[in-house]
Amino acid sequence: MTNKIIAMSIFDLLKTGPGPSSSHTIGPMKAGFNFSVRVKALNREILNRAKGIKIRLYGSLSATGRGHGTDRAVIAGLMGNEPATCPPTLLSNFLTIPKERKIIDLGIKKLPVDLENIEYSSIRHNFPYNNTLIIDLLSEQDLSRDASKDLHNTALFSMEYYSIGGGFLQWKGWIEQDNVIPPHPYSNMTELKKQLKDKNLSLERLLLQNEMAISGLTEEEIKVKLDKIIYVMKDTVNRGINTEGVLPGPIGLKRKAKRLKERADSLQTIDQYLCLLDSYAYAVAEENAAGNTIVTAPTCGAAGVIPAVIMILEEHFHLDILTQRSGLLAAAAIGFIAKNNAGIVGAEVGCQGEIGVATAMAAAMIAQSQGYSPKVVENAAEIALEHQLGLTCDPVCGYVQIPCIERNAIGAVKACNAALIAENENSDTHMVSFDATVKAMGEIGRDMNSKFKETALGGLAVSMICC
């Protein structure tokens, strides 16, 4: 395990943005926005010569970028949109008029850009990160050159971006900022529990105090932002369970959340509980697949697990916003530890890092919000993750639909069961630590063939031929 201290803000882990994939939409949208800001700052002479833009996608951005909406996301970013504030249905609206030429406003002039400006380049490459994109600002001369030639060296201005997962963005020459060392430093679960014990703090207090140091926000501001995240999650559920139709892409997959919710309302006892969980997870995952706004938890592809469980905490367990917030803090801690010691991105470690970690986060959230001890919270997360180890990322046709949507529902149900086991066993007899399971996930992820890591070259993506 690494000893790198976790100094990440909760709001970098749980962030609002367009689906269907944080590394394929949120990261590239940020790249487009960053490029547009940099280009506007160039001198007039360069801007006057600018006639076009070219975007080249590499790695899994090339393999599955079309299905994941990378093309639309990067163009939306170039047009000045940012993930946290763009309209909820911005990317799905791009689909309704795909041939429409978009305009990038550079201040002294406007440049046209459309989906034809995207080049799907090599899937295997030597860039330091799998999800790489290069954006070039081109002159008239560049545009008239042989399209097969590499324009990178002659472009008026060029940036090499890395969408490193979870919506985070870096670029060539990136200098890592010195992180704030939080007051209660930890790099894994063992250290977190030691901090709790040594300082006699509750998990919630420790996480709030760390967040205040890392983000510079007051406790009140953090609570407001957490409540806003919970609100967006519930809002996405409500949008999803009230929407019908077919999801974008060649599969022709019909939305199911609304029907599941209607069926759940007519069921009794345990069936109703499970069907409700399913419908809520489907609702968010379908909104994500449509390219609409969700909260990464910890990624877009796995965005449905935690909101489904939050809805159940409210409706079934009758837990108020204070306990939901406390649960969300515990979920964030689990996400931090998984990210710090293994990974949370399908392109790096397979779906075990997305749905697997989301399931662990949700299980921890349930135990925490019901007032269980940190040991039970850990055990719930461990059980949830342990039984998702090895889960591959193999989206059919490269779309975050099959197996992703259903997998969110299965994850939500698994999270409830994991919490139930952890809450009802003798917690001291639990044999496997969360750190051990995260370590196993990292090892499995590193050894997993790249065809099972968001490239749509293996697994269901090839055994189920429908596009």
What residues make contact with ligand SF4 under the rule CB under 6 A?
301-302, 346, 351, 354-355, 393, 395, 400, 403-404, 407, 454
> Environment class of residue 201 by beta-carbon count within 10 Å: exposed (0-12), middle (13-18) or buried (19+)?
middle
Residue whose tokens read 């689990």: 334
Q: How far is the CB of 302 from ligand SF4 (least distance, A)?
A: 6
> In the chain, what are the helix, strand and coil shares in percent, each to the nearest 5?
55, 10, 35
Q: How far is the CB of 24 from ligand SF4 (least distance, A)?
A: 9
Sign for the CA dihedral angle at 354, 356, 359, 364 comes to: negative
Q: How far is the CB of 455 from ligand SF4 (least distance, A)?
A: 10
Which helix H or strand E contains 85, and what residues bound it? none
Distance CA 112, CA 103 (A): 5
Q: How far is the CB of 403 from ligand SF4 (least distance, A)?
A: 6
Q: How far is the CB of 467 from ligand SF4 (least distance, A)?
A: 15
Residue closer to ligand SF4 (CB basis): 261 or 407: 407
Residue closer to ligand SF4 (CB basis): 325 or 407: 407
3-state SS, residue 220: helix
> Environment class of residue 114 by beta-carbon count within 10 Å: exposed (0-12), middle (13-18) or buried (19+)?
middle
Residue closer to ligand SF4 (CB basis): 167 or 182: 167
Q: How far is the CB of 405 from ligand SF4 (least distance, A)?
A: 8
Residue closer to ligand SF4 (CB basis): 330 or 404: 404
- Single-letter amino acid code for the residue at 97: I
Cα within 13 Å of Cα(423), Cβ side: 16
Is the distance from CB of 328 to CB of 222 less than 8 angstroms? no
Residue closer to ligand SF4 (CB basis): 155 or 309: 309
Q: How far is the CB of 289 from ligand SF4 (least distance, A)?
A: 10
3-state SS, residue 333: helix
Residue closer to ligand SF4 (CB basis): 23 or 427: 23
Paired with 159 in beta bridges are 135
Residue closer to ligand SF4 (CB basis): 59 or 346: 346
